[in-house]
Amino acid sequence: MITKSRGEKFFDVLLYVVLACSVVMIFYPFLHVLSISFSDRGEALRAGFHFYPRSVSLEAYAQILDATSLWRAYGNTLFRMVLGTAAALTVTILAAYPLSKSYFPLKRMFLLLILFTMLFEGGIIPTYLLLKELDILNTRGVYIVLHMANAFHVLVMITFFRSIPRELEEAARIDGASELKTLYRVILPLTIPVVATIGLWNLVAHLNMFMDNLLYVTDRSKFVLQQILQEILIEDRQDSFADIALSEEPPTPESLKMASIIVSITPMLLLYPFMLRYFEKGVMVGSVKG
Amino acid sequence: MLVLRSFWRHKELTAMLLVALVFFGLFRYGPMYGLIIAFKNFNISDGILGSPWAGLEHFRRLIADPNFYRIFRNTLIINLYYVLLVFPAPIVLAVMLNEVRHRWFQRLVQTTTYLPHFISWVIISGLFIYFLSPSAGVVNYIIQWFGGDPIFFMGEAGYFRPVLVVSMLLKETGWNSIIFFAALSAIDPQLYEAATVDGAKRWQRILHITLPSLLPTITIMFILNLGGFMSMNFEQVYNFLNPLNFETGDVFDTYVYRVGLEQFQYSYTAAIGMFRSVIGLALVLLANYAARRLSGGEQGLW
């Protein structure tokens, strides 16, 4: 048994203290947000630390329940999460499968064509004008179509398809299955981990994306959750909460803000355990050269 | 002809690829085509093709525009801060995590520090603004507790870049440490055992085993980071930006959004965007070339 020197012990203590501090730095804001969201007027306005609400009020959540524009935005976000992810996964698989075949003609050229979109982009204004010419500006379709073609996801998918033994596919082909049927029946079931990883990347991106709404959608009924949150949190506007005036004990803007945060991060927190499992793997997959 | 026949033989695969390429063509190459308005005087009624040519007029205007230098300077300075302060943080975290002997504590730190990566910039920025508020913010509460005067962080241009750096550190350090941590777990434990037997102290083991093992990963990540020197996270900057800190915080995309979409100067801001994209492309190519040279052709983005 090697006894630790005084210096080593000091190092150990320092290590654990610094890491514990970083945990607290991230954990405390959550506690604070949760506490303020359940606080009554006086408590929410009190300066200082908030670990738990000293006097509880559910008024902020009552207001949120009635905030129709927030819930409509929630609906729009769920819409883009589901449809956007399904559409992006489809395009990713359709692009990656043919390009993963060594015998596919001109595959290197096609791959370069796709990879180039990672390096160069038209930018905000040309994208705006394109959506305008396609006449889909200011529709929910914007949220879907702009994220369907993702070169990086295609790259990760190709890497994965290539790792599947050829014999499996050949067996299916000899049995007379078409390419599409082989992909659907034989190959896809094997790629569930990578489909889950890329799917979760898409889900999180769609849940948190705010830029495409700000730039290309101005119709309030089509706003996504992050856009409404931006109004509430950053622009400090409470137009989403129409009933404040009717309330006997109106909650403070702070409680409303914090309650909106809690309501909007709940789906992410529910997905988090799954995300941890697949994302950590995904980062490693992504680092494999295509 | 041979190629065509080959496509025909794999017609199902060809059809799949074509469907996908339609989307890449339309939504990735489409905007690139739209960049020609940077060389035109675009107006909505004439459309992209019908608008009259303007040659390099917009690029000449850009060179004479003080706002252009401001956004260019801000982009470079903020990115420099990121390279110096944000880039090393995940390496330090990974090395520290590697020294932790209690598995549960390691997991706890990882699970907590990864979390902010999944929270939107709107919420992260909103929380920063709230916690930094001069009236009720916890940060100013602490400053006052120590006898200082409250600071209006979001109202003073000088605090914009530090706030950006700290928010980026809090949001992404944990997540970015994954790749370094994975590289560390590949180190042969016998190296550490041998060093311990030879009497190496803890910091000596870190200095002579851990860090050298990380060096290839660090080099590649560093070079790839330099390739992104012209880009900025729009959602992060936009949510912290207000007229009081334009001077230190306005960057390419936020300027293009404000002047282009809100003041309808399409052609001029398309020229600014194009300038950014072209320099950005050159940097990525250069970074990739450097990564390949340094690793003897082993590594690179492609």
Q: Residues A41-66: pLDDT tens digits?
A: 888 988 899 999 999 999 999 999 98
Q: What's the pLDDT score for residue A284?
A: 59
Residue B153 CB coordination number (10 Å): 22
Residues paired with B40 in a beta bridge = B53
Say yes or no: A194 and A134 in one domain: yes
Q: What is chain B's mean pLDDT, rounded? A: 91
Which uninterrupted H or E stretch holds A235?
Answer: none
Per-window interface: B 45-104 vs A, CB < 8 A = 47-48, 93, 96-97, 99-100
Q: How far apart are CA A188 and CA B298, in angstroms?
A: 31
Both tokens of B189, joined, read 């434990």
- Beta carbons of A125 and B256 less than 8 Å apart: yes
Query: Which span out of A162-171, B77-86, B209-218 was modeled with the highest average pLDDT?
Result: B77-86
Nearest Cα residue in chain A from B265? A125
- Beta carbons of B170 and A114 less than 8 Å apart: no
Say yes or no: A17 and A56 in one domain: yes
Q: Which of A233, A217, A226 is nearest to A73 (CA)?
A: A226
Say yes or no: A106 and A156 in one domain: yes
Mutate: best of B5, B32, B166, partner A, most A CBs <10 A: B32
- Beta carbons of A95 and B24 less than 8 Å apart: yes
The CA-based diameter of chain A, rounded to the nearest angstrom, is 75
> In which band, very low, low, confident or very high, does the pLDDT at B302 lie, cut at 50, 70 and 90?
low
Nearest Cα residue in chain A from B197? A2
CATH assignment of the domain containing A157: 1.10.3720.10
Q: A271: domain range?
A: 6-66+241-286
ipTM: 0.91
- CB of B255 within 8 A of CB of B238? no
SS3 A39: strand
- Beta carbons of A124 and B253 less than 8 Å apart: yes
> Which CATH superfamily groups domain B62-294?
MetI-like (1.10.3720.10)
- CB of B269 within 8 A of CB of B277? no
A231, part of any domain: no
Q: What's the pLDDT score for residue A288?
A: 44
Percent of chain B's residues with pLDDT above 90 = 71
A80-112 pLDDT tens trace: 999 999 999 999 999 999 999 989 999 999 999
Q: What's the pLDDT score for residue B186?
A: 85
- Beta carbons of B17 and A99 less than 8 Å apart: yes
Q: Which of A215, A172, A274 is nearest to B235 (CA)?
A: A215
Say yes or no: A145 and A109 in one domain: yes
Mutate: best of A125, A178, A234, partner B, most B CBs <10 A: A125
Sign of the dihedral defined by the CA atoms of residues A243, A244, A245, A248, in that order: positive
- Beta carbons of A123 and B274 less than 8 Å apart: yes
Closest-CA distance, B254 to chain A, in angstroms, reads 10
Say yes or no: A62 and A72 in one domain: no
A190-238 pLDDT tens trace: 888 889 889 988 999 999 999 999 999 999 999 999 999 999 999 988 8
Closest by Cβ to B23, choosing from A32, A110, A148: A148
Length of chain A: 290
Three-point CA angle B122, B124, B126, nearest 5°: 65
B115 touches chain A (CB under 8 A): yes
Closest-CA distance, B76 to chain A, in angstroms, reads 19
CA distances to A93, A112, A223, B299 from A109, rounded to whole Å, are 18, 5, 39, 21
Number of domains in chain A: 2
Q: Which residues contact B282 (CB under 8 A, 6 or more apart)?
A: none
B248-300 pLDDT tens trace: 999 999 999 999 999 999 999 999 999 999 999 999 889 888 888 877 665 65
Say yes or no: A76 and A62 in one domain: no
Closest by Cβ to A149, choosing from B28, B99, B100: B28
Contacts of A132 in chain B (CB under 8 A): 44
Say yes or no: A38 and A127 in one domain: no
Contacts of A264 in chain B (CB under 8 A): 123
Q: What's the pLDDT score for residue B299?
A: 60
Nearest Cα residue in chain A from B178? A280
Q: What's the pLDDT score for residue B48?
A: 87
Sign of the dihedral defined by the CA atoms of residues B185, B188, B193, B199, in that order: negative
A235, part of any domain: no
Residues paired with A56 in a beta bridge = A39
Say yes or no: A61 and A82 in one domain: no
- Beta carbons of A125 and B270 less than 8 Å apart: yes
DSSP symbols for A41-57: HHHHH--S--SS-SSB-
